Amino acid sequence: MGEPQSEAEDPRAVLERELYWAGEATTPTSQSTRELRIALHDFAATMRADERSAIPRDEPQLGSPSRWKRKTKASFYVLLRPITHRYDRLLADLATLTRMLAERLADAEAEIARLREILEARRPEGPEAS
């Protein structure tokens, strides 16, 4: 029996690593609160639009190079849609609530910055202030 391939030699691991590093450099942790709020707003809008459509626009599982496979997948999707339909609405509600929370966080950050400025303005200047 041969030895198992190391992770560096495994083509799948190499491809996964390359795809990971080729991804977007912007992560939710590196975004500002305002940018995060906008991204959440866009996600909620997408989920609301998907809730109203029979087949969501960018559904990756429904694509296929073969026409008959696409039609078969789409018909199964439409048939099973009532089962999963509720989750689009729930995800949209969750995204809306999270966006509202991000708005409150942005307001709190602005208030903290304003209060820090006031505090700095009230502090006495010079070495005798210590």
pTM greater than 0.85:
no
Query: What mean pLDDT is predicted for residues 80-88?
Result: 71
Residue 57: CA atoms inside 13 Å, Cβ hemisphere, count? 7
The predicted structure's pLDDT at residue 115:
95
Per-residue pLDDT of 86-119, as tens digits, reads: 676 777 788 888 888 888 888 898 999 999 999 9
Across the chain, mean pLDDT equals 76
What number of CA atoms fall less than 13 Å from residue 28's CA on the CB side? 8
* pLDDT above 50: residue 7: no
- Predicted confidence at residue 76, as pLDDT, reads 81
E strand intervals along 1-130: none
Supply angle C-alpha 99, 103, 106, rounded to 5.
Answer: 135
Q: What is the mean pLDDT of residues 11-26?
A: 69
Which residues have CB under 8 Å from 31's CB, separation 6+?
39
Helix (H, G, I), strand (E, B) or coil at 128: helix
